[in-house]
Amino acid sequence: MNFPIDIREEAGVRTLHFGSDWIQGAMRIARPWRLELDYTREMMASLLLRNDARFPRNALLIGLGAASLTKFLYRYYPSTKLTVVEIEPRVVAAARQFFKLPDDPLRLNIVIADGSHYIAERNKTYDLILVDGYDADAHPGELNMLPFYQMCRARLNDNGVLAVNLLGRSRGYQASLERIKTAFDERALAFPSCDSGNVIALAATGEKIEAPISELKQQALELKEKTGLNLLPTLTRLEQAKSCPGGILAI
């Protein structure tokens, strides 16, 4: 992969770019563990879907970027084992140098590999899979194909959750969502597009999720108390978009 990696800073926020103005990741320098970008916060809504104190015991993250999701889980979920797959070694080097990527091989395994190949070639399973992989032109490639989503499902434990960052503006996200639904027997939904144009899709395996939004809001309050992350606006947008008939999030 032959693209420049740029690091910029403005108003106390450091950003990662792949040779364009497109932001690939961001960190507020004074609060390096905080999720700075809207879509990264929305991906963490996956944590609300299983009301289990041990969830997630292990997580696979495909795409490192500025390590925002990695650092959040590392800091606030100390019993979770993390595997991060990143295709470009220079991105890992930049995350270590500029974005405070932790160095802890016991809890955090960084793998330089193609995410779609990695997941296809190993049998290890996970409670949570987070997919946020794009090239310099904002193309996800094989990470947005049906075989990849089917492989994600095969690599989830029973009662596992998948969260995918889809880009909503360029060609629309509906075809991507349909592929995820096909792989997960229709057990998927997309959040309304956030301001950046990103759309977060969630899918689940195992026991059916039928959670009243009011109950999720209570869990969101507990998550906010634990981590400072406020998902209440996300749940309100979900409610307003009528994605949850009868006020029930069902996957």
- Supply the residues annotated as catalytic: 132
Q: Are 160 and 5 in contact (CB under 8 A)?
A: no
Beta strands at 210-212 and 248-250: parallel, antiparallel or unpaired: antiparallel
Angle of helix 146-154 versus helix 174-183 axis, rounded to 10: 40
Q: What is the DSSP string of the chain?
A: -----EEEEETTEEEEESSSS-EEEEEETTBTTS--SHHHHHHGGGGGSS--TT--SEEEEE--TTSHHHHHHHHH-TT-EEEEEES-HHHHHHHHHHS-----TTTEEEEES-HHHHHHH----EEEEEE----TTS--GGGGSHHHHHHHHHTEEEEEEEEEEEE-SSS-SHHHHHHHHHHTTT-EEEPPP-TTSEEEEEEE-SSPPEEEHHHHHHHHHHHHHHHS---HHHHHHHHHTT-SGGGEEE-
